[in-house]
Structure 1
Amino acid sequence: MTRDFIHINDFVILVEAANSEKPILDSCRFEEPLVAVAFYGSGNVDLNVAYGQEQIPYSYTKGLTLSFFADEKVSFEHTVRPDSPLQCIVIATALRNLEQLPHNEGELFYELLSELVKPKAPYVEGPRFYMTPEMERIVESIFGNHYTGKTKMMFFRSQVTALLSHFFGQLALAQESKAISKYSTQLQRAKEILVANLENPPSLNQLAQEIGLNTTKLKKEFKDVFGVPVFKFLQNERLDTAHTLIQNHGMSIQEAAWQVGYDSLGSFSNAFSKKFGYRPSKLINS
């Protein structure tokens, strides 16, 4: 498990990663009331937010962006499993620092996260959505960082600024179009169905019927919220899962391809190399 705290201006950035061969509970609290945004990477941990008698579970965190206010009484509990590693970036600032943030960043918090700036409970959830492909690439680059010292700080400063810019940009767009969370329950269910059935996914019509939307609405809203069409999301999930099965679980290329629903090894290898920039055989030989 690694947990790095980085201070940039009046922001505190927590970069946390954990893998485990058996289920473990990773718990943390903040030392003072904070407004924060969490970005979850390629892992898919269970998150439980606890304070007093309240328990708020989040069951599908891969790619999730979650904004919130939390005071020092709130505990964030991640359940890490062999197939569900933790990758989480939290960008936080104390309420007392909002007006001092550079480049008018504090104004964005007041305008777009007003419910968090004036909280009415120890924990208040703000807007949440799944990251766009651009945001996912930034998160991947942060966890793939190999810089040290001043170069690392420069790299983190640029990436965190870009990540926050995309986050507030998505909020502004959603506020204009009223797109956030109108169909979030159905769309999250659609995402869970696809992830649970990579080998034999439902057709678009079947998926639409199961979540209670028509196919046209499903295609439009899915792309608006997740940034990619339904088929592209399914393909990315298949390839990400196959990558993990080959690299971390010792599966052969053929076994991994079958496990995620590819009948043709050639089609799998071509799609894999297009996404990752190298053929799956590189994982076997490295």
Structure 2
Amino acid sequence: MTRDIIEINNFMVLIEQSSVEETIIEKCDFEDQVIGFAFYGSGNDELNIEYKDKKRTFNNAQGIAISFSANDKVDFVHKISPEKPLQCICIISMIKNLHKLPEQENQIFTKYLSELIHPKDDFVEGPNFYMTHDMQNAVDKIFNNRYEGTTRMMFLKSQVTELLSHFFALLSNVENNGNGIKKQDREKLYQAREILSKNIDTPPSLNELSKLIGLNDYKLKKNFKELFGVPVYKYLQNERLKKAHELLSSSDISIQEAAWYVGYESLSSFSSAFLKKFGFRPSEIKK
């Protein structure tokens, strides 16, 4: 586990990343009463939040954004597997320090997260969502940036601010408009996402995917974009490029092989899409 801890404004930011050869268990906790946000760009198989005799479990943390209040009696337990390396950005602030935030930011916290600011238990779960496309992009940029020193700090500050802004914007939208997707359909959409993630090189067609999850084409396309923030094909492209970046960074695989592995037949199309997403061409990783 690598853990980069930096202080940005009045927040402590933990940037955690782990790639393992066998399944391991990692624990983390806090020394004071905090309010926090965790964004999982790549997910461990299981996340358990344990306190007293209680447990809150996320069976697949990939792509979720959660908010919470916790104290020193709460353990966050990650089960990390070789198939799903962990990438997590945790943004925390001690509750007693929230008054140091600018007045308008303090008002946003008070308006939307009052139950976390005034917790009635050791752990209080706040709103949680599947990350939107904008959130996922911000997370990807944090883990894939190549800046150093002061430039890196400036960049991380901008991305952390962006993450929190997207979180509160989504929270505001849900509060004002409600969530029009039925719970049963949401589960089917999560299933569709999982099918796409596991078959990025040879994905099913939209028609095949709709049959696999038991949801008609119209609902699949409309609700997938509403829930995840991007159309089905765009989500698939993002997953392909993230996997290609991982392969190029952690193995001796060639650029052509990486492109083929994630389903790109054209090397030029792959390189252009890669540049658009990450800001640099795949060849720069291999330098």
Q: TM class, shorter-chain normalised?
A: 0.7 to 0.9
Letter in 1 for 2:132: T
The offset of 1:258, in angstroms, is 4.0
SS at match of 1:72: coil
Other-structure match for 1:207 = 209
Query: Aligned with 1:233: secondary structure?
Result: helix
Summarize the Cα distance change of 1:13–1:272 in structure 2 as closer, same or farther, 3 Å threshold. closer
Q: Does 2:244 match 1:227? A: no
What residue is the counterpart of 2:43 in the other structure? 44
Against the structure 1 CA distance between its residues 270 and 11, is the aligned structure 2 distance closer, same or farther, given a 3 Å change threshold? closer
Distance 1:20 1:261, change over 3 A: same
SS of 2:230's equivalent in the other structure is coil
The one-character-per-residue Cα deviations of 1:118-174 (angstroms, maximum 9, x if unpaired) are: 43433222222233333333323333253325x555444333222211211111122
Report the Cα offset of residue 213 of structure 1: 2.9
Separation in 1 of the partners of 2:180 and 2:31? Answer: 31
RMSD between aligned alpha carbons?
2.9
User: Could you state the TM-score of these two structures normalised by the residue count of structure 2?
Assistant: 0.83
Describe the SS at the equivalent of 2:35: strand
Q: Secondary structure of 1:261's match?
A: coil
**Secondary structure of 2:22 counterpart:** coil
Q: Is the counterpart of residue 245 in structure 1 residue 247 in structure 2?
A: yes
How many residues get paired? 283
For residue 202 of structure 1, give the secondary structure of its aligned residue in structure 2.
coil
Partner of 2:148: 147
Structure 1 letter corresponding to 2:240: R
Shift of 1:191: 0.9
> Which residue is equivalent to 1:137?
137
Question: Per the alignment, in what secondary structure is the counterpart of residue 121 of structure 1?
Answer: coil
**TM alignment of 1:170-181, pairs within 5 A:** 170-179=170-179
Q: What is the identity, as a one-letter code, of the residue corresponding to 1:220?
A: K
Contact 1:65 1:128 in 2 (8 A): yes
Structure 1 runs not aligned, ≥5 long: none
**Secondary structure at 1:188's aligned position in 2?**
helix
Unaligned runs of 5+ in 2: none
Could you tell me how far 1:265 is from its partner in structure 2? 5.3
Secondary structure at the counterpart of residue 128 of structure 1: strand
Contact 2:44 2:80 in 1 (8 A): yes
Does the Cα contact within 8 Å between 2:141 and 2:278 map onto a contact in 1?
Answer: no
Of 72-81 and 129-138, more deviation after overlay is shown by: 129-138
Inter-CA distance 95–21: structure 2 relative to 1 (3 Å threshold): same
Whether the aligned pair in 2 keeps the contact of 1:129 and 1:180 (CA below 8 Å) is: no
Partner residue, 1:12: 12
Matches for 1:113-192 after TM superposition, within 5 Å = 113-143=113-143, 144=145, 146-148=147-149, 152-179=152-179, 182-183=182-183, 184-192=186-194
How far off is 1:271 after superposition? 4.2
Mapped to 1, the partners of 2:280 and 2:12 lie a distance apart of 36
Pair 163,224 (structure 1): closer, same or farther in 2 beyond 3 Å: same
Pairwise CA distance, 1:101 = 2.4
